[in-house]
Amino acid sequence: MAKEEKASVWSSYTEADKEALEKLAAGYRDFLSTCKTERESVREAVRQAEAAGYRDLQDVLRSGEKLKAGDKVYAVNMKKSIVLFQIGEEPLEKGLAILGAHIDTCRLDVKQNPLYEDGGLAYLDTHYYGGIKKYQWVTLPLALHGVVVKKDGTVVEICIGEAEGDPVFCVTDLLIHLSQEQMKKNAAKVIEGEDLDILVGNYPLKDGEKESVKAGVLKLIEEQYGIEEEDFLSAELVLVPAGRARDLGFDRSMILAYGQDDRVCAYTSLVAMLESDGARKRTSCCLLVDKEEIGSVGATGMQSHFFENILAELMNACGQYSELGLRRCLANSKMLSSDVSSAYDALYASAYDKKNVAYLGRGMVFNKFTGARGKSGSNDANAEYLGEIRRMLEKHDVHFQLAELGRVDLGGGGTIAYIMSLYGMQVIDSGVGVLSMHAPWEATSKVDIYETKKGYMAFLAEA
């Protein structure tokens, strides 16, 4: 039976459990290592979905085919969000079982007029994305990912800094010998946002000419990628920590990687969706969205009407659409807002209420509410839904824990849960505990990842 007790999950595992855990962890490390942007994550989700028999909903709509129970389809929004459906036996107005996570993560975005030279060094100007401690991003090896769209519509894919032998990039820091004034600043001001510029070159094209280092960089990227300086105007380029996800600890019990918030929940949701095959009453849904780290805004964020519009198309393809039916479907749905939670760190114990915090290695985490100071801005799940979730998890022997983000009045955070709750559906936050959340490298426990995937499968089977 799953129990809300302070005990490590490891002690309950059989050799078969450990083997399954390591298989999931290996796939997860590969996903984290190769999918560091929303576009890369969506592309991989499409690849895995199609391998599991899912079809593009747009192809179905164009053909005029009617969908039926058991059919599996997906839809992509601007290459940055994706939703997958497995049609159930019940009418769609009875509601969906939804797993929803976000695939954007904190990073440094390259500005539209980024390249400049100063002091014989070439830099890219950036604007940080999401909530970061800016001082954590200096002197790290960084990789450049993204796309450049030329005037003729040609899309150039960029990934520099991940392959062996690739160059990397970095933000420099002031040497300690001259840092007396810098060290007097508070942590929020030690590194200013406008100083997070990326060092990209030092080799002059022609010695003595003005901005010759910048010219040399431009010559290299034009030769290799066919990109001119003005093409930065229509580019989406980001700097992320370079390198692969790794096992953490002598015992290899954890994973250290960039972007685990929230790709740990996105990956486990996707795997649970693809492995939850077979007939079921309720239609299953896996929703992976963009822009959560900046408020779920924009056409690819959860506040857009993408999900609602696609659901209308799905209902129409099933011969079940009506405006009232759509409203009933949304209101009758049940959702796990799959997002990470803070995990207890003994080095910063004063930030937590030890009785109400997630612990690494103790299973899937549920947050009844998030928000900040007096639960402001949160979705607060009702007790009946939480009781239903407990029954599901105990039936499937899933280890779980209930937690809050941190000590009352210290701070807080949010997820997509409150947005989906606007439809009147039952929603609760769930996912994996993380150490060093929003840092360039974050830590998670393998058993928490495995139990979370089990929990998502239990939800899809029982909701």
**To which residue do tokens 């028999």 refer?**
53
Can you give the pLDDT at residue 152?
94
Identity (one letter) of the amino acid at 322?
S
The pairing of strands 334-338 and 426-431 is parallel
Give residue 371's pLDDT.
77
Task: List per-block mean pLDDT (blocks of 10 residues) for the chain, which spans 463 residues.
Answer: 65 95 98 98 98 97 96 97 97 97 97 96 97 97 97 96 96 95 94 97 86 95 95 97 98 98 96 88 97 93 95 98 97 96 95 94 93 82 94 96 88 85 94 97 98 98 92
- Looking only at the bridges linking them, the beta strands covering 198-201 and 121-129 are antiparallel
- What is the model's pLDDT at position 5? 53
Query: Among residues 88, 188, 94, which one has the least CA distance to residue 136?
Result: 188
Provide the pairing of β-strand 107-118 with 341-342: unpaired
462: DSSP letter: H
Predicted local distance difference test score (pLDDT) of residue 415: 87
Rounded to a whole number of angstroms, the CA Rg of the chain reads: 23
Buried b (16+ CB within 10 A) or exposed e, 73-82: bbbbbebbbb
- In this prediction, residue 3 carries a pLDDT of 42
Please work out, in degrees rounded to the nearest 5, the angle formed at the alpha carbon of residue 453 by the alpha carbons of 371 and 52: 120
Q: Which of 157, 166, 347 is nearest to 242 (CA)?
A: 166
Residues 6 or more apart from 185 whose CB is under 8 A from it? none
In the prediction, which pLDDT does 217 show?
96
**Residues 6+ positions from 234 with CB-CB distance below 8 Å:** 148, 149, 150, 151
Q: For 285, what's the count of Cα atoms within 13 Å in the CB-facing half-sphere?
A: 27
Angstrom CA distances, 402 to 1, 354, 358, 379, 399, stand at: 16, 12, 7, 15, 11
| Intervals of CATH 3.40.630.10 along the chain | 9-105+258-462
Tokens in use for 378? 């949160």
How do beta strands 246-248 and 155-160 pair? unpaired
SS3 105: coil
Numbered ranges of CATH 2.30.250.10 in the chain? 108-241
Helix %, strand %, coil % of the chain (to 5): 35, 25, 40
Name 343's bridge partners: 358
Domain 9-105+258-462 indexed as CATH 3.40.50.2300? no
> C-alpha angle with apex 34: 361 to 197, nearest 5 degrees?
100
DSSP calls for 271-337? HHHHH--S--SSEEEEEEEB-GGGTS-STTBTTSSHHHHHHHHHHHHTT---HHHHHHHHHH-EEEE
Give the model's pLDDT for residue 4: 45
What Cα–Cα distance (Å) separates residue 211 from each residue in 194, 201, 215, 227, 228? 21, 11, 6, 18, 16
Question: CA quadruple 308, 310, 312, 315: dihedral positive or negative?
Answer: negative
Q: How far is CA 288 from CA 17, 91, 182, 197, 303, in A?
A: 27, 24, 41, 30, 13
Is 108-241 CATH 1.10.1060.10? no
